């Protein structure tokens, strides 16, 4: 793979490192947690080869991008302002947003908050069902009670980042495993939050999954060793703030065409099929054109199954051409 060009984009309130390839209509590739632009290493040259300018930023707080200290600096309106700032920087009227994990959440949200700047959404792993009836952490606490759940663990100031910063390799190697990766037994089996953090609840992989080379893992470990995990966790600490700050999104529908891709074994979709996802998403995403679930694939879909994802992206982008 020819390496993309890494550069810094300076905007009025933030500086983002971006990887870019190609010329043409703008496609922004938004990564999730805990990732970086590198998550799109297989898609950047492919999309560029289709005649687009493919741009994958390190989202604010990640990799080589600026990492403000304040929790509220990672609120959704700030994240969407970054997306709009990138669109402005490249002199585009609008962009196709391709997002995975938290990047999908940002893409869905920007399509609602800045609809004139988003021409379409291609979301990976995280579906959109509209604004929840309750603040997210309130609903999660009612569901999980005293049991451990990582999103609630992330709400506790300082704890998760201290755990992960102490051993980035341990948490990343565990999280990046595929559904069929052989693992050691977890050190912690107690379901209660009081039993400890997250790393010991995930069995260490006995080998790397086929999609992740030692050099790939080393790149991620180096990035998080340098930047730390705090900023990425701040995204989760804004879940309730985002809910309270956007009452106008109650009942809102996306005006743009949208597509959804996930691994069939992605924990985010909980084993549900395309029909269930269609019923979930259609009221909030009336122009949802396709749902594609890739068999035997887990959460890291564009890395675990790059060629099928690339072929789907080619089909979707072709359908969007006037």
- b vs e for 255-275, b when ≥16 Cβ sit within 10 Å of the residue's Cβ? ebbbbbbbbbbbebbeebeee
Are the beta carbons of 293 and 124 closer than 8 angstroms? no
57-80 per-residue burial string, b: 16 or more CB within 10 A, e: under 16: bbbbbbbbbbbeeebebbbbbbbb
Query: How do 5-10 and 15-21 pair as beta strands?
Result: antiparallel
Nearest to 62 by CA among 250, 225, 305: 225
Look at the chain and count its residues. Answer: 322
H helix or E strand, kind and range, residue 57: strand 53-57
The CA distance from 57 to 62, in Å, is 9
Prior bond of 34 cis (ω within 30°): yes
Which residue among 101, 128, 234, 266 is the active-site one?
101
In angstroms, the CA 34 to CA 63 distance is: 10
Catalytic site includes residue 101: yes
Q: What positions carry a catalytic annotation?
A: 101, 299
């Amino acid at each position: 793979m020819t390496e993309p060009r890494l550069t810094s984009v300076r905007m009025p309130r933030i500086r983002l490192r971006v990887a870019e390839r190609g010329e043409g209509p703008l496609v922004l590739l938004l990564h999730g947690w805990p990732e970086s632009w590198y998550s799109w290493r297989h898609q950047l040259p492919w999309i560029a080869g289709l005649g687009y300018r493919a741009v994958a930023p390190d989202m604010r707080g990640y990799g080589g991008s600026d990492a403000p200290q304040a929790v509220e600096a990672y609120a959704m309106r700030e994240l969407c302002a970054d997306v709009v700032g990138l669109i402005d920087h490249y002199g585009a009227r609008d962009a196709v947003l391709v997002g995975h994990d938290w990047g999908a959440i940002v893409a869905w949200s920007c399509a609602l908050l800045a609809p004139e700047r988003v021409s379409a959404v291609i979301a990976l792993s995280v579906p959109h069902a509209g604004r929840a009836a309750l603040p997210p952490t309130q609903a999660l606490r009612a569901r999980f009670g005293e049991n451990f759940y990582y999103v609630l663990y992330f709400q506790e100031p300082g704890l998760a980042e201290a755990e992960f910063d102490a051993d980035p390799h341990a948490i990343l190697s565990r999280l990046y495993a595929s559904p069929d990766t052989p693992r050691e037994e977890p050190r912690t089996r107690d379901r209660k939050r009081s039993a400890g953090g997250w790393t010991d609840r995930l069995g260490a992989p006995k080998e790397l999954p086929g999609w992740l080379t030692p050099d790939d893992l080393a790149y991620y470990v180096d990035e998080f060793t340098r930047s730390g995990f705090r900023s990425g966790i701040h995204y989760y600490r804004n879940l309730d703030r985002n809910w309270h700050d956007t009452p106008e999104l109650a009942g809102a529908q996306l005006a743009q065409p949208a597509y959804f891709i996930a691994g069939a074994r992605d924990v985010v979709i909980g084993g549900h099929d395309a029909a269930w996802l269609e019923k979930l998403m259609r009221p909030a995403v009336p122009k949802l054109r396709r749902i594609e679930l890739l068999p035997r694939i887990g959460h890291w879909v564009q890395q675990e199954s790059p060629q099928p994802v690339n072929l789907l992206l080619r089909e979707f982008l072709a359908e969007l051409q006037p």
